[in-house]
Structure 1
């Protein structure tokens, strides 16, 4: 009676385990709290600590920069892949932590057997046929009681790799933000170039109208009219090219934010004033920020820590391990024949085992030593790569810092050039209409204005790009750097 009760309890326990296993496959619970080491969201937080909600309608009205950034982050496959990699490493940390817990397994079996014994005469009286039914159940517990730091080293390695994955995810987020902001600024630059081209075309059209009127009145030469017509055609060609560049830039931005390239996007006009940079003026402060916050450096340092933990794990694998095990099993058999010639009967066989096991590696063919040497060499390699990356990051910060200052000087010089060109054009236009200037002087002044306006637009665009690059090179690119 007791055996049947134990069997039923065992079957029930096995069914519960199978059910829990099915739930675990569908939605694994984080019982070892590994996801607490992941970022709070797959997407970064904005300056006001508001998480991004990936639910968007079709763009309506003017597309603001922050909305474009949010759309790009939600649609970025690179960001989702980096987030998945971080979750993979979190799961590996859970695997490493689970080594501290015991392993419990249950086994159940049912066997239907038919045995037939046939003898020749005169022993045919011993002929027999049996159909025993065997049910088995066992419960086994195994637990590593103590080792020499193997589990701890594995946990430290998994935690360091998770830190590296988180840093890589952060770097991917910043790269997506940088690329989207750059495409957004490219569209605004293309819009500004198109407006300047349209203004230049309108100015050329007015000049043609003026030369045509003077020629019709007999006060101007035909060559003046033809040269003004050539200037208008050239301005129209530049305007058409600017329109094509705007279409390309708009399609590139639409693709980045998860829309069709043919989507029509309306962006606000770029302000002509320089926004606050939000970046300290001291290059030493920028170096310090880059060394502390750059995600590439954080990932490299975490990988180096993981390699050091791997060295400790490899050494610990060759040291003694103390384990505990316990097993209880039961086998029930109907129609069991204890001894040949006796009638079949029911039988129950039970085993209970409890023990301790100490495993001491004695000789592994010198393989352990070479594994340690390989792990140490990997540490040296990652250390060298970290130093190289630190040098590269500092160089990028220095170049971006200098580029930002240079671009700011370019803006001032371009604005001065534009102001001078406009004054020159006003004088040339007045002289031409007064009949004391010639068409070549007017067209030259008109071309100078168009070129100066192009230089000013390029200078402002270059400054915005340099500011983005400087923020990215310090590893602290955020919404503050792109507003």
Structure 2
């Protein structure tokens, strides 16, 4: 008896785990692993971190080794080819023949060049460090965007589910009201008008149900595009949840943070600094350069016409160069860099203003959302009371069928609006922190705590 009982308990635990809804933190973790946009940003920051090393390389010594192996075969035919070969003592030793030279030359060398003064390379190094910092700031923005995109898609799905549930509940209520109108018409207590009104309300609700189903599919597909898998059941918002106002309460603090800490603002600030170094780098085209150079060369020659000989040469010194005229190219490039710096400054100002605008909009969205939630909570209670009163009045004959239908429609519409107001307030709270540049993964934990696990 114990083994079947244990099996039942294990099976029950297994199915309870399978039926557990996925919460916001779990969905975010799936997005971290599968979102293609964030994966692209992660690869971009990895590439950007190499800019510092690449810029430093221009300041470090360059060492190179080179070599060659050459074989020369030379045949020389003298002018008296075939004539008697007269030696120095006057004797004749055969005939004059071709002279053959067979030489093998081996050469290898090692050279070193250490820049001593190259201002353009120093500025390139500074730009490399700024490029790495820009990549880090862009990655921070991509992480914030992922948080807000996941939260938006998550609550869009919940909102679509609430709308569908509300429409189906309204459909069930209208169906019951339609049946009641038909019964009353058959017994003669009501006119055919009540039946037609209930039928029209039912047909409209059916159309709204189809639209709600389609909208839910679209919202789930949008979430699937982020997390890379088909989303399961999502944990809903707890009933009667209380939302809090953003801290700090003053909007000026949020705007100030957005104008200084927003990652996109930081990117533009770094671009301005990089453009300054670009001006200096272009001006370095007028500056002299100085390098330390050293080399070691070995040469070995073997051949039939000469003995083997090895030559070694070691050299060290400095090499300088002074540009005199290059067709005004450097001057033009400096003017171009100055114009691009002015553009970067204006881009910075535009980005700063846009960040402040986003902070204002999100701040007002949170506060207006909190006010809407309170108002809609009161409206829900009033709509519920109005529906009950209309049902009672319909039963005693002081209300007609259309009054009950309108009261039902008002109640379900209020519930849908209340759910959307809560979702929008939560998302606007995350967007406010994102605009201020303070949004972190830890900020999802309080939001996740509002869900029904």
TM-score (norm 2): 0.85
Corresponding residue number in structure 1 for 2:4: none
Is 1:193–2:163 an aligned residue pair?
yes
The correspondence for 1:267, drawn from 234, 256, 267, is 234
Contact 2:153/2:219 (<8 A) preserved = yes
The Cα of 1:469 is off from its aligned counterpart by 2.7
Alignment partners' CA distance in 2, 1:115 and 1:416: 108
Task: Give 1:456 deviation, angstroms.
Answer: 1.9
1:174 and 2:141 aligned: no
2:42 corresponds in structure 1 to: 83
Which protein has greater RCO, CA pairs closer than 8 Å, 6+ apart? Answer: 2
Match of 1:253 among 223, 232, 235: 223
1:381 pairs with 2:351: no
- Are 2:273 and 1:305 equivalent residues in the alignment? yes
Q: Which residue of 2 aligns with 1:71?
A: 30
Contact 1:279 1:471 in 2 (8 A): no
**Residues in 1 aligned to 2:279 and 2:63: alpha-carbon distance in whole angstroms:** 30
Identify the residue that residue 22 of structure 1 maps to in structure 2.
Answer: none
8 Å Cα contact 1:112/1:134 also seen in 2: yes
1:13 match: none
Give the one of 209, 212, 216 matched to 1:242: 212
Aligned residues: 415
Question: Any conservation in 2 of the 1:336–1:346 contact (CA below 8 Å)?
Answer: no
Residue 406 of structure 1: SS of its match in structure 2? Answer: helix
Residue of structure 1 equivalent to 2:12: none
Structure 1 counterpart of 2:174:
204
Question: Cα 1:210–1:60, aligned 2, differ >3 Å: closer, same or farther?
Answer: closer
Q: Residue 50 of structure 2 aligns to a residue in which SS? A: helix
How much does 1:361 deviate? 2.4
Q: Describe the superposition over 1:277-324 as per-residue Cα deviations: whole angstroms up to 9, x where unpaired.
A: 554211121022212320100000011111111222222332222211
SS in 2 for 1:345: coil
- Where structure 2 has 5 or more consecutive residues not aligned to the other structure, the ranges are 1-17, 86-94, 449-453
CA contact (8 A) 2:245 2:367 kept: no
Name the CA distance, whole Å, in 2 between partners of 1:303 and 1:60.
50
Structure 1 residues 121 and 275, CA, compared in 2 at 3 Å: closer, same or farther? Answer: farther
Q: Out of 280, 294, 297, which is 2:262 matched to?
A: 294
SS of corresponding position for 2:268: helix
Equivalent-residue separation in structure 2 for 1:356 and 1:336 (angstroms): 40
Question: 2:323 matched to which residue of 1?
Answer: 361
1:35 is matched with which residue?
Answer: none
Say if 1:312 and 1:349 are closer, same or farther in 2 by CA, change over 3 A.
same
How many angstroms apart in 1 are the aligned matches of 2:68 and 2:134? 46
Q: Is the 8 A contact 2:35 2:225 kept in 1?
A: no
Give the Å deviation of 1:107: 1.2
RMSD of Structure 2 on Structure 1 (CA) = 2.3
1:331-388: CA deviation from partner (whole Å, max 9, x where unpaired):
2122153xxxxxx432222222222122222333443333222222222221122112
Structure 1 length as normaliser, TM-score?
A: 0.80
Q: Which residue of 2 aligns with 1:332?
A: 300
Distance 1:334 1:289 in 2: 77
Conservation of the 8 A alpha-carbon contact between 1:254 and 1:265? no
The secondary structure found in structure 1 opposite 2:235 is: coil
Say if 2:82 and 2:97, in contact at 8 Å, map to a contact too: no
SS in 2 for 1:114: strand
Residue 134 in 1 paired to residue 105 in 2? yes
Structure 1 residue 221 corresponds to structure 2 residue 191 = yes
Q: Specify whether residues 79 and 116 from structure 1 end up closer, same or farther in structure 2 by C-alpha distance, changes over 3 A only.
A: farther
Name which of 116, 128, 134 aligns with 1:145.
Answer: 116
The corresponding residue for 1:29 is none
CA distance in 1, matches of 2:304, 2:297: 18
- Of the structure 1 ranges 120-129 and 344-353, higher mean CA displacement relative to structure 2 is found in 120-129
Tell me the CA shift for residue 139 of structure 1: 0.8
Give 2:408's aligned residue: 446
